[in-house]
Amino acid sequence: MRGLKEEILESVGQDLVEIEAALTQNLKPYLPLVSHVAKYIMFSGGKRIRPLLMVLSARLCGYKGDYDKTLSVVFEYLHVATLLHDDLVDGADVRRGNPVAHSIWGNPATVLVGDFLLARSMGIAIQTNSTSIIDVLAHTMAQMSEGEIHQLLHRGDLAIDERDYMEMIRRKTAYLIRAACQVGALLSEAPEGRVQALADYGHHMGIAVQMIDDLLDYTADAEVLGKATGTDLREGKLTLPIICALNHATSEDRRRLETIIGDTDITESDFETVLELIEKYGGIAYTIGRAEEHIEKAKEYLGIFNASKPRTLLEQLADYVLVREL
Amino acid sequence: MRGLKEEILESVGQDLVEIEAALTQNLKPYLPLVSHVAKYIMFSGGKRIRPLLMVLSARLCGYKGDYDKTLSVVFEYLHVATLLHDDLVDGADVRRGNPVAHSIWGNPATVLVGDFLLARSMGIAIQTNSTSIIDVLAHTMAQMSEGEIHQLLHRGDLAIDERDYMEMIRRKTAYLIRAACQVGALLSEAPEGRVQALADYGHHMGIAVQMIDDLLDYTADAEVLGKATGTDLREGKLTLPIICALNHATSEDRRRLETIIGDTDITESDFETVLELIEKYGGIAYTIGRAEEHIEKAKEYLGIFNASKPRTLLEQLADYVLVREL
């Protein structure tokens, strides 16, 4: 039986080809180094889910123009700018199986190429002449930076609860995916109700995407993931699986978790212990359950649209979030 | 005799008070840390020359609205964001006599607060509903990041010439000052000729501002400057005074300069030697001369405006660039 992924890819293959081309064509830097750094991170296995969601949202709203692929790169550029700044922030070594940009080009170039991508995003968006679109993007940039700072402040914070977690991932991940869908509708000059429905779809998609990302950091095959599992734990990022475990653990198990989390050097065996405790207290199942709820909500928001190919694709992409392996 | 500075300050005192208030009021972060970091750098002795130029440019074009002070903070926020990212880039320790932000809050918070300020700038600018203004800002952000990268690539590059230097400072400094003046005119919906004249005024002002900054790094009293002189030299930034000396030095003197520039640890006595050689080959006088030419050009571009209080102030601010001590 053909998988969901293959079915989606068959439908959007041409879109993805055009998005890839647009990603290169719209970079337009004055300095070659900017291209090198940006392309290094941009063409190292990204799934282009954000540009694709924008393109499909525009299509769902009946967009007939020719600026959708160009505009869609904004959502990859913003994403990549965040990765460049976050990898630095996180002190990460590896992303998608490759050394992170700042370990090759240094912090300076990494920060500045991130800035260049933020600037290019605005430059591309302004060509739509739509202040609503620019407004969404300006808000998105502010939300993302505050989400990252929020996460930074909660690093290693054992008192973090699910509400904090939700607030962080809403800003740092969901807002950009929400923006991609919303901007697709705005580009099509869709009525307010449709813009809002796609924004809501994007929000719930974004929450689920981050929940599953956080889950995979515990459960994925390291080779598929392109980095060691347990990275979040080692960086002091407490995500939903472990928050759930901390909430339900006996005081003895909680102490075991706290000791490991507080440790500066988490061994493989420590990580195994954490994984066992997360399983014991249902942290994996809980996270999947919450992600499923958000995917269901996301799909419900598409209910105001008549059945159509783009609507089906947006539903399939939502379902795919739950079954992807990386 | 009353100095030029006092005369300017008397005329723009109320504007500066309102700009200061707007700088705080428009920050609006969700997290207090963002305010702390942003205010730390923002309220440590900045001269608000960029917001002031925008406000005066708008006034010169007859602006009668009430968004000028608010919009003017964009130019300080963009400037401060650049400082936050650049101090990190430069590995600087001290700015305006205080430890740099990243040595207190760490690289992560510094990068992210810079991002937040870029985002807020766009959020404030979009309220004008003017896509021309947003367009100028998006270009400015791109130019500034490329200017910084360009500088980074030329660090310690003995082959740097005046053309490279001009290209770098045009992007990294002059473009933002140009944008402030241009946006003042755009906010006033001034005719194209006036927008262009103010953009040209700002460009030449910006070039002169950077030339004098670079000069002061050699000649200023360290206490007035708020950091040690010779910082640029120690960071491998070759600016106009030394480029001039390298150009005219005998091969023996050039070798002496090259040895010191290539050294990782430049002593006080090395710095004295460099300063002597710069004097010997007229690097100080040359830099002042070039800055004076740009100030003259800047003032010429104001010629299309009738005599008025704001025009006089813009002329005085131009003259002040040449006599300031920090």
CA atoms within 13 A on the CB side of A264: 0
In a mutational test of the A interface, the residue from B28, B30, B113, B115 whose CB has the highest number of chain A CBs within 10 Å is B115
Assigned token pair, A324: 């992807």
Q: Confidence class of residue A249 from pLDDT cuts 50, 70 and 90?
A: very high
Q: Which of B89, B109, B118 sits opposite A112 (nearest CB)?
A: B89
Buried b (16+ CB within 10 A) or exposed e, B79-102: bbbbbbbbbbbbebeebeeeebbb
A27 touches chain B (CB under 8 A): no
* Cα→Cα distances B66→B121, B134, B220, B261, Å: 17, 18, 39, 50
Whether pLDDT at A38 is above 60: yes
Q: Which residues have C-beta within 8 Å of that of residue A13, sequence separation ≥ 6?
A: none
For residue B185, the one-letter residue type is A
Biggest CA pair distance of chain A? 61
Residue A108: band (very low, low, confident or very high) from pLDDT cuts 50, 70, 90: confident
The token pair that represents A206 in the structure block:
């974004």
Binary contact (B31, A135; C-beta < 8 A): no
How confident is the model at residue B42, as a pLDDT? 83
CB atoms within 10 A of CB B200: 18
Cβ of A88 and B111 within 8 Å?
yes
* Consecutive H or E run containing B263: none
| Spatial CA neighbour of A180 closest among A57, A12, A303 | A57
Q: How many CB atoms lie within 10 A of CB A13?
A: 10
Give B94's DSSP letter. Answer: E
The CA distance from B96 to B184, in Å, is 28
What whole-number percentage of chain A has pLDDT above 90? 69
Kindly report the nearest CA distance between residue A239 and chain B, in angstroms: 19
Query: How far apart are the C-alpha atoms of B249 and B280, rounded to whole Å?
Result: 9
Tell me the C-alpha distance between A141 and B232, whole Å: 32
Decide: A245 and A283 in contact? Cβ < 8 Å. yes
Q: How many CB atoms lie within 10 A of CB B290?
A: 18
Nearest by CB to A108, from B89, B114, B139: name it.
B89
Q: Chain B: residue nearest A130 by CA?
A: B131
User: Which pLDDT tens digit goes with each residue over A230-242?
Assistant: 888 988 899 999 9
Q: Does A34 touch chain B (CB under 8 A)?
A: yes
- B52–A contact, CB cutoff 8 A: no
> Which residue segment(s) compose the domain that A222 sits in?
4-323
ipTM for the whole complex: 0.87
CA-wise closest residue to A164 among A239, A56, A67, A61: A239
Query: How many domains does one find in chain B?
Result: 1
Specify which residues B95 forms β-bridges with. B98
Residues sharing a CB contact under 8 Å with residue B316, sequence separation 6 or more, in sequence order: B4, B7, B8
Q: Would you state the pLDDT for residue B228?
A: 65
Q: Which residues of A touch B85 (CB under 8 A)?
A: 111-112, 115
Q: Could you tell me whether strands A94-95 and B98-99 are parallel, antiparallel, or unpaired per DSSP bridges? A: unpaired
Whether the CB of B135 is below 8 Å from some CB of chain A: the reply is yes
Q: pLDDT, tens digit, for every residue of A116-167?
A: 999 999 999 999 999 999 999 999 999 999 898 888 888 888 999 999 999 9
Chain A residues closer than 8 Å to B122 by CB:
122, 134, 137-138, 141
* Alpha carbon of B315: minimum distance to chain A alpha carbons (Å): 32
B119 vs A31, A108, A145: nearest CB: A145
- Chain B residue numbers touching A85 (CB-CB < 8 A): 111-112, 115
| Closest listed residue to residue B114, CA positions, set B139, B147, B79 | B79
Chain B contact for A23 (CB, 8 A cutoff): no
pLDDT at res. B225 = 58
Q: Would the CB atoms of A88 and B108 count as touching at under 8 Å?
A: yes
Is B145 close to A89, i.e. CB distance below 8 A? no
Chain A contact probe: residue of B34, B113, B129, B146 with most A CBs at under 10 A: B146
Which of A227 and B186 is assigned the larger pLDDT? B186
B108 with A126: Cβ contact below 8 A: no
- Cβ count near B285 (within 10 Å): 13
CB-based contact A31 B123, cutoff 8 Å: no
Q: How far apart are CA A38 and CA A70, in angstroms?
A: 17
Report residues of chain B scoring pLDDT below 70. 1-2, 89-94, 96, 222-228, 326
- How far apart are the C-alpha atoms of B49 and B69, rounded to whole Å? 13
Query: To which H or E segment does residue B103 belong?
Result: helix B101-126
Distance separating alpha carbons of residues B286 and A203, to the nearest angstrom:
58
CB contact under 8 A, A29 and B116: no
Question: Each residue of A290-315: pLDDT tens digit?
Answer: 999 999 999 999 999 999 999 999 99
**Rounded distance, CA B72 to CA A294, Å?**
42
Tokens found for residue B138: 């998006």
Nearest residue of chain A to residue B115 (CA atoms)? A145
The pLDDT, as a whole number, for residue A54 is 98
A-B contacts (CB, under 8 Å): 141
Q: Which of B7, B110, B19 is nearest to B56 (CA)?
A: B19
| Among A63-77, A81-95, B127-141, B308-322, the least confident range | A81-95
Secondary structure of chain A in the HEC alphabet? CCCHHHHHHHHHHHHHHHHHHHHHHCCCCCCHHHHHHHHHHHCCCCCCHHHHHHHHHHHHCCCCCCCHHHHHHHHHHHHHHHHHHHHHHHCCCEECCEECHHHHHHHHHHHHHHHHHHHHHHHHHHCCCCHHHHHHHHHHHHHHHHHHHHHHHCCCCCCCCHHHHHHHHHHHHHHHHHHHHHHHHHHCCCCHHHHHHHHHHHHHHHHHHHHHHHHHHHHCCHHHHCCCCCHHHHCCCCCHHHHHHHHHCCHHHHHHHHHHHHCCCCCHHHHHHHHHHHHHCCHHHHHHHHHHHHHHHHHHHHHHCCCCHHHHHHHHHHHHHHHCCC
Any chain A CB within 8 A of the CB of B138?
yes
CATH of the domain at B296: 1.10.600.10
Pairing between strand B94-95 and B98-99? antiparallel
Q: For residue A131, which residues of chain B lie inside 8 Å, CB to CB?
A: 126, 129, 131, 134
In angstroms, the CA B175 to CA B41 distance is 21
Closest CA in chain A for residue B143: A116
Q: Are B244 and B282 in contact (CB under 8 A)?
A: yes
Residues of A in contact with B153 (CB under 8 A): 31, 33
Q: Which of B70, B80, B294, B83 is nearest to B183 (CA)?
A: B70
> Which candidate from A116, A123, A152 shows the least CB-CB separation from B146?
A116
Q: Is the pLDDT of residue A1 over 60?
A: no
On whether the pTM is more than 0.95, the answer is no
